[in-house]
Structure 1
Amino acid sequence: MTINDHKAHLITLGKFLGQFQLTNSSPDAEVPANEEFFHLFNEKIDFAVNHNGWFNRENIVFALQQWSEALTPENLKLWLGKYDLSGSGGKTVGIVMAGNIPLVGFHDFLSVLVTGHTVQVKQSSNDQILLPVLVEYLKHLDKRYEDRIKFTKDKLEDFDAVIATGSNNTARYFEYYFKGKPSIIRKNRNSVAILTGNETKEDLKALGEDIFRYYGLGCRNISKLYVPENYNFDTFFEAIYEWNPIINQNKYANNYDYNKAVYLMSEFKLLDNGFLMLKEDKSFGSPIATLFYETYSTKEELNRLLEGNSEKIQCVVRNSNEKDSVRFGYTQKPQLWDYADNIDTIDFLSQL
């Protein structure tokens, strides 16, 4: 299968994913195999919501729309055009997927396919409904995928390389179990936003998307703010207030209530608007319904701090043209070439 074959199939897959909406989804007559797959996948979205209490249709559809917008001819050309994949392929690559947000391991999955390898997937039990249907859709488009994609519920076996995502604790297990094999082992990372006090209300409203999308469960969600000394949070709280219905989600509300009780019993100082707590803390990973913050005095001081903690940080959001900065509202809209942990997955796979 050539790289052009892969691109053509992914473009079609992108069009398929783009059909699904929050309400009133309807099949596009120009999308192949809708008779077999449209209603099936629409039902599986509902199954996924029932299977995982952290998933809802809004977030699943958001993820599908982001993938639909990513899988275009222009984006695929920009993503893959700089690599020489003529000699790539022929290996079996295992992927151990996380399950914190919908289709979180999809980029690794597609990367293995386009580099010509066979993929062996071990899904998280929290996100095991959607991907198998998309795999069947790809197989329908091209039967050569039949021998290229395998799922396992047991440990990975007979693989040449591995991409595994988990917590810092599971990463130690991965590093031991997969020693001797080429690997990408992903650990905990968190994302931060830098405020100067000069942000517009629209900037801060967009930041709400970065904080609350997927209930804050993703590594690209903002879990910490850096603010100037004596920063006034009133405008921030006003701008993000449109996200207040999030407190009606039971699991989120339970986390909010539990963490608030713990903080109050410990007599921590909090800023609270009824659905989000702000706590001054030097750590990066804040609990659900909590956002840590830390003050800074100079830009140079802050840049040194971020550089010294670069292995803990996934995204840095700020109004800046600085390298690797992400615009407000875009952490959950990564491009195909925005690699997790800044590790070039295609380069790794092409050299196996």
Structure 2
Amino acid sequence: MKVQLPIVKAFVNLGTYLRNYCENDNTQSKAESNIDDAIVNAGQHNGWFTQDNILFALREWAHLLTEENLLQWLNNYDLEKDNDPKTVGIVMAGNIPLVGFHDLLCVLLSGNKVLVKLSSNDKILLPFLAKYLIEQEPSLSEKITFVEGKFEDFDAIIATGSNNTSRYFEYYFSKGPHIIRKNRSSVAILQGTETQEQLKALSADIFQYFGLGCRNVSKLFVPRGYDFEPFFNAVFDSKDIIDHHKYANNYDYNKAVYLMSELKILDNGFLILKEDEGYSSPIAVLFYSYYDSEAELRAQLKEESSMIQCVVSKGNEGEEIPFGNTQKPKLDDYADGVDTMDFLLKL
């Protein structure tokens, strides 16, 4: 499939538009004020989609959607085969703003058509950006379709959901080419020698999007005897998160459950730390486990990689991510480690 230069240009124009909006104190001419309406409406529709979180997502996409970034990414693939366009259905998640945008980007730049089934939690932002793309490249009007009912006439599926919904996806979509994503969580390995700057950066990995993303750190691994005081001091700047009523409700509820169950917790007034072997912690809770050997811990994480999206560490070994970067993925940081573009080009 040859590089879709007009479509690349449409995404570059979108990146420029978002960059101008985000860098100019979120003010635009009257003709461009619709983005303000989209942000407000998205926040009213989903209380977790605060203006700050939406703007963070828009800034990250503005940073990625440059001609240099897009062409450098696409250069890793054989785009010269002239295959017939396929129709790809995308079942999108809605846990954080624009979480399914990367899948849309991949489908369109691979030369295929897309059927989008939006999450009920994120029904405003993506259609707004799709409309802008179509204004830049009218041919996209025949390649982007939003569906509300049953998927029909598709050649492949990309579906993201919970462990429960993934079983239904497997049942309905297993006969054709598919990528089906389940619940995953992200973890951080602390060595006890981190600087305050590194721990403050980690707080962004924990609290961005209220911790609702699969790339948010929901579990700490700390050396036995670890002193949590430097950690609590470093994350204190994030204390205002408790002012958000939905987050505060979750904090109060989880704290009450743990106290009534007489479970041992650490608490700083806006974040609960609970020793737990699990990976996926509730909102306002961070699980932690002790380790004795870093090498053994990394071997364990490798064995359990199907449950883990990102590993954050100071050492940054292999594919591990530096503190503060989990919600800043690059174009080739594919969810669940599955190369979406490669999948699409082989249809």
Q: CA deviation at 1:261?
A: 0.7
Aligned to 1:83: 77
One-letter amino acid of the structure 2 residue matched with residue 56 of structure 1: T
Aligned to 1:281: 276
Q: 2 CA distance for matches of 1:6 and 1:257? A: 47
The residue matched to 2:12 in structure 1 has which SS?
helix
Aligned to 1:259: 254
| Cα separation, partners in 2 of 1:136 and 1:35, compared to 1, 3 Å | farther
Q: 2 CA distance for matches of 1:53 and 1:25? A: 20
Q: CA deviation at 1:18?
A: 1.5
* Aligned with 1:178 (options 163, 173, 197): 173
1:48 matched to 2:42? The reply is yes
Aligned to 2:111: 116
* Aligned with 1:73 (options 67, 72, 77): 67
Aligned to 2:57: 63
Q: 2 CA distance for matches of 1:25 and 1:225? A: 35
**Would the aligned equivalents of 1:22 and 1:57 in 2 still touch at CA under 8 Å?**
no
Q: 2 CA distance for matches of 1:268 and 1:313? A: 26
The residue matched to 1:15 in structure 2 has which SS?
helix
Q: 1 CA distance for matches of 2:134 and 2:71? A: 23
Runs of 4+ aligned residues of structure 1 deviating over 6 Å after TM superposition are none
Deviates most, 75-84 or 236-245: 75-84
Query: What is the aligned residue count?
Result: 345
1:209 matched to 2:204? The reply is yes
Post-superposition CA distance 1:33-79 (Å, at most 9, x none): x765x211111100101110111000000000000001112211221
Q: 2 CA distance for matches of 1:4 and 1:309? A: 40
1:148 matched to 2:143? The reply is yes
One-letter amino acid of the structure 2 residue matched with residue 26 of structure 1: T
Post-superposition CA distance 1:59-106 (Å, at most 9, x none): 000000000001112211221101012224510000000000000000
* Aligned with 1:301 (options 293, 296, 302): 296
> Which runs of structure 2 are paired with 1:202-241 in the superposition (5 Å)?
202-241=197-236
Q: 2 CA distance for matches of 1:23 and 1:261? A: 43
TM-score calculated relative to the size of structure 2: 0.97
**Would the aligned equivalents of 2:221 and 2:288 in 1 still touch at CA under 8 Å?**
yes
Q: CA deviation at 1:161?
A: 0.1
Post-superposition CA distance 1:158-198 (Å, at most 9, x none): 10000000000000000001121100000000000000001
Aligned to 1:4: 5
1:26 matched to 2:27? The reply is yes
Unaligned ranges ≥5, structure 2: none
The residue matched to 1:306 in structure 2 has which SS?
helix
Q: 2 CA distance for matches of 1:342 and 1:319? A: 21
| CA RMSD across the alignment | 1.4
Post-superposition CA distance 1:205-233 (Å, at most 9, x none): 00000000000000000000000000000
**Would the aligned equivalents of 2:218 and 2:286 in 1 still touch at CA under 8 Å?**
yes
One-letter amino acid of the structure 2 residue matched with residue 69 of structure 1: H
Aligned to 1:31: none
Aligned to 1:326: 321
Q: CA deviation at 1:320?
A: 1.7
Q: 1 CA distance for matches of 2:235 and 2:288? A: 16
Q: 1 CA distance for matches of 2:156 and 2:269? A: 47
Residue identity over aligned pairs, in percent, reads 55
One-letter amino acid of the structure 1 residue matched with residue 151 of structure 2: L
One-letter amino acid of the structure 1 residue matched with residue 297 of structure 2: L
Q: CA deviation at 1:23?
A: 8.4
Q: 2 CA distance for matches of 1:223 and 1:77? A: 34
Aligned to 1:162: 157
* Aligned with 1:291 (options 286, 298, 316): 286
One-letter amino acid of the structure 2 residue matched with residue 166 of structure 1: G
Q: 2 CA distance for matches of 1:312 and 1:292? A: 15
Q: CA deviation at 1:16?
A: 1.0
